[in-house]
Structure 1
Amino acid sequence: MMKKNILKSMKGIFGLAVIGIILFFHSCVEPYTPSTEVFEQVLVVESFLTSELKHHQVKLSETYRLEDDTVSYVTNANVKVLSDKGERFDYFSAGQGIYLSVDEYRAEQGVKYQLEIEFQGKIYRSDEEEITGVSNLTSVEANRAVDDDGVLGVAIQANSNSASGDTKFYRYTYEETYKIVSPYTSNQKFITDEDGFAVLVDVGPDEEREICYNTLSSKKGVLSNTNFLNADNQEDVLIKFIPVTDKKILNRYSILVSQLVISGEAYRYFETLEELSNSESVFSQNQPGFLNGNIMSVNDPEENVVGYFEVASVSKQRIFFNFTDVFNSDERPDPTADCEVVRPLTGLGFEPGDIDFYVSAGLLQYLSDAPPSTDPLNPEGPYNMVPVECIDCRSIGTPIKPDFWIEENEN
């Protein structure tokens, strides 16, 4: 059952900060700050149950006014998943609206599952959902490519073979991890003392500032279907295009691609969600309606609920590549391109100066001593300094190498 129509008349709900729609304003003569004239607080649910054995997750929040700048997380709900085999899987609050299953479990083929949430004296339930089919992710490839705008880059593409069931509808997500190598190094650094002044000290022997790693998850899934194909296999599905100038691929890069086989109803839900997220439609003549999924209030079936509980089979694959595995070495961007060396002024007397401000704000860091300033009309400070991310990778990553990480010579 898909409760209500996917697109329902707004009826005064326009302005809700629902489904993460980002508002952009083009060609405005005067700056305009949107505000919520009519507001309805709505429960927002994000939940995927897959065939992977793990602690599964449910995210709960409430809609918030456009003029607010903080997400309203739901932290006091009771969450559980029930199966038609009589099983019950309880979840606990892990903070910031995230609920994790107490025990590890996986969705099984032929079993129907239902999400149930108790919140503020109300009960919310999803439709019963089950795995619709299984497809194996056979390969993930990183191919040199040029996009429609003529930009050179690497195309991350996926291929799969259908194994069983209805496998016409797919959703792909990914987690990318990349190696960061600081283009500049120094055995000294500035710290800020209790009076707000920058003090030069030695870098500790255990401080790793040169090599770090950072991991990012996809913000939205990639949808694909085989409705117009003779077979349900997926070939060369574009998961992500990364321009050659993107610093994420400057050294070594890894991506973990997850392929989810979803139902037709779930596919249409996420497809509509993607359409509603198009900024060009926000102020158009045909205003987008309220997006309903497969979750409803037991107490009040007319209450609006945002979100979808989907049960899907999942197949995963990870790849690694270095920059020179895809591109020529002379195509590698200059790692110091955004690392301008500057010489901020020190303070006078007991007043902090520019250098003290930049250090305390975490914007600049010490590179080396500089020669005396010779131009009295354009004085310069006594230290060469660079943006902190150019000399201390910990500002944009972690020095702790992920357990799954392997270098080329470790294959």
Structure 2
Amino acid sequence: MNIYKISLFLILAFAISSCTEQYVFQNTGFESALVVEGTITNELKNQTIRLSQVYELEETGPKLEKGANVFILDDKGNEYQFAEKDTVYESITPFKAEPGRKYQLKIKTSAGKNYTSDEQALTTETKIDNVTATVETVNGERGVQINVNSFDPTNSSKYYRYEYTETYKVIAPLWSPFEAFVIDVPAVPEDPREGTPGSPASENISIVRRTKQVRICFSTKKSNSIILNSTNALSEDRVHFPVRFISNQNYIISHRYTIFVKQYIQNLAAHTYYKTLKDLSSSGSILSPKQPGFFYGNIKSVENPSEKVIGFFEVSAVSSERIYFNYEDLFPREPLPPYYESDCEMKEFADCTGDPPCAAVQLRSVIRSRELIYFSGFSPYFLVKPACGDCTKFSSNIVPPFWID
């Protein structure tokens, strides 16, 4: 969701909204604010809450809020305590949101400041019927359109938010089962007593079989934008929503691809909050004439209600679905998309000294630096860029536990 990436803009928006000329920003009045990312669901699991502070333009990432006391209180007096774990606060015991119950987030920071959310109830539980992948042309570009389909016969879901995680197989096109190393051979002095001649130091090239699997890899990426949908203007609460479009020239679908889609049902307040976040984070919105300035979510300071707090605590019914497809399933007999590395041309090196095409010195240099890696040959040698023959240069050779070929 990356709320913390947007949060700095929210603090700055009202300060620069009146600027109409080019302005070099000077950070002279930075104002901190707590950022809360919290969604609990009807899944039985360890729920998570993320706390951070907005960060300045020159900083590289969010300041995580450490040492806070975080818990959720329901309308029957049950408390669900959270403990700090890595970059989030995680519930100590698994629990799930129950229909008809109300939940409230409570936070006490290490500085002794208290924050509380409005009470929230679980939204309508509407499951995804299916996720489909079809070949379509969108904005003049041919590719794969991934749609989410669901239906709420009670006509009460209305507001939807989506997240997805995609995983895809990568196959290095110029892989070799062998790799090359430069071996330093020390000089051997002449031995007159034994009558053996000496030899100068040398750099030998050794070709050995690989001990690591580097041909097939798997990459996983999560959606990083706010994806919203509403059926409020429709006569029935039926969803056929394009959650992801992938060009047929995108290498991520070259072999096998899977997407795991999660559908969150939101209430109107949560949907409005996320829609405003999305509008603010869109291109050019910070300097647009329609500036909303700072806006509040449903979390407030107990001691100082006027304090700026960014974030929204929601209790959302969620469902999920995963699909797989191969490139050839959708684009039979069509050439594969361009590979991750666009320049996979083999480079030839003659292992000799003297004028070109001799390149013994350069050959050893690129092997040592791993600027190029071995593909084939003994003299001449054929080398390629690392990513062309070793997919672990940008991906992982660990097979995901959910993967199905």
**TM-score bucket (shorter structure):** 0.7 to 0.9
- The one-letter code sitting in structure 2 at the alignment partner of 1:174 is Y
Deviation, structure 1 residue 41 = 1.1
Q: Secondary structure at the match of 1:233?
A: strand
1:84 aligns with 2:81: no
Aligned to 1:389: 387
- The one-letter code sitting in structure 2 at the alignment partner of 1:366 is Y
Deviation, structure 1 residue 170 = 0.6
* Structure 1 contact 171–222 (Cα < 8 Å) conserved: yes
Aligned-partner Cα distance in 2 for 1:269–1:113: 18
* Structure 2 contact 372–386 (Cα < 8 Å) conserved: yes
Deviation, structure 1 residue 12 = 8.3
Aligned-partner Cα distance in 2 for 1:276–1:241: 23
- The one-letter code sitting in structure 1 at the alignment partner of 2:208 is D
Q: Which of 290, 295, 312 is the equivalent residue of 1:291?
A: 295
Q: Which of 237, 240, 243 is the equivalent residue of 1:239?
A: 243
RMSD: 3.0
- The one-letter code sitting in structure 1 at the alignment partner of 2:330 is V
Q: 1:198 to 1:164 in 2, by over 3 A?
A: farther
1:326 aligns with 2:317: no
* Structure 2 contact 13–293 (Cα < 8 Å) conserved: no
- The one-letter code sitting in structure 1 at the alignment partner of 2:277 is L
Aligned to 2:93: 103
- The one-letter code sitting in structure 2 at the alignment partner of 1:214 is S
Q: 1:53-98 deviations in whole A, cap 9, x for unaligned?
A: 1111111211111122232122322211111122111112122x31
Q: 1:105 to 1:346 in 2, by over 3 A?
A: farther
Aligned to 1:304: 308
Q: Secondary structure at the match of 2:396?
A: coil
- The one-letter code sitting in structure 1 at the alignment partner of 2:373 is Q
1:189 aligns with 2:193: no
Larger Rg: 2
Q: Secondary structure at the match of 2:131?
A: strand
- The one-letter code sitting in structure 1 at the alignment partner of 2:214 is R
Aligned to 1:406: 404
Q: Which of 365, 370, 373 is the equivalent residue of 1:365?
A: 373
Gaps of 5+ in 2: 1-8, 185-202, 350-358
Identity level (%): 35
Q: 1:92 to 1:144 in 2, by over 3 A?
A: same
1:59 aligns with 2:63: no
Q: Secondary structure at the match of 1:279?
A: coil
* Structure 2 contact 249–338 (Cα < 8 Å) conserved: no
- The one-letter code sitting in structure 1 at the alignment partner of 2:246 is I
Aligned-partner Cα distance in 1 for 2:348–2:66: 48
Aligned to 2:318: 314
Once the two structures are overlaid, the 10-residue window that deviates more, 386-395 or 131-140, is 386-395
Aligned to 1:169: 159
Q: 1:5-24 deviations in whole A, cap 9, x for unaligned?
A: xxx997886479xxxxxxxx
- The one-letter code sitting in structure 2 at the alignment partner of 1:230 is S
- The one-letter code sitting in structure 2 at the alignment partner of 1:100 is E
Q: Which of 228, 233, 245 is the equivalent residue of 2:233?
A: 228
1:154 aligns with 2:144: yes
Deviation, structure 1 residue 180 = 1.2
- The one-letter code sitting in structure 2 at the alignment partner of 1:396 is F
Q: 1:82-140 deviations in whole A, cap 9, x for unaligned?
A: 11122111112122x31111111111111111111111211111111111212121010
Deviation, structure 1 residue 222 = 1.5
Q: 1:342 to 1:93 in 2, by over 3 A?
A: farther
Aligned-partner Cα distance in 2 for 1:43–1:9: 12
Q: 1:211 to 1:11 in 2, by over 3 A?
A: closer
Aligned-partner Cα distance in 2 for 1:201–1:297: 65
Aligned to 1:255: 259
1:68 aligns with 2:59: yes
Aligned-partner Cα distance in 2 for 1:260–1:198: 60
1:113 aligns with 2:103: yes
Aligned-partner Cα distance in 2 for 1:39–1:302: 17
Aligned to 1:216: 221
Aligned-partner Cα distance in 2 for 1:34–1:198: 57
Aligned to 2:354: none
* Structure 1 contact 136–160 (Cα < 8 Å) conserved: yes
Q: 1:323-346 deviations in whole A, cap 9, x for unaligned?
A: 011113224224474423346977
Deviation, structure 1 residue 35 = 4.4
Once the two structures are overlaid, the 10-residue window that deviates more, 182-191 or 243-252, is 182-191
Aligned-partner Cα distance in 2 for 1:82–1:329: 57
Q: 1:217 to 1:192 in 2, by over 3 A?
A: farther
Aligned to 2:346: 341
Q: 1:38 to 1:15 in 2, by over 3 A?
A: farther
Aligned-partner Cα distance in 1 for 2:205–2:72: 55
Q: 1:280-339 deviations in whole A, cap 9, x for unaligned?
A: 122233445123211111111111111111111011111000001111322422447442
* Structure 2 contact 215–391 (Cα < 8 Å) conserved: yes
Q: For this pair of structures, how many residues does the alignment match?
A: 363
Q: 1:4-49 deviations in whole A, cap 9, x for unaligned?
A: xxxx997886479xxxxxxxxxxx9xxx975423211111111111
Gaps of 5+ in 1: 1-7, 17-27, 373-382
Aligned-partner Cα distance in 2 for 1:250–1:261: 33
Q: 1:364 to 1:291 in 2, by over 3 A?
A: farther
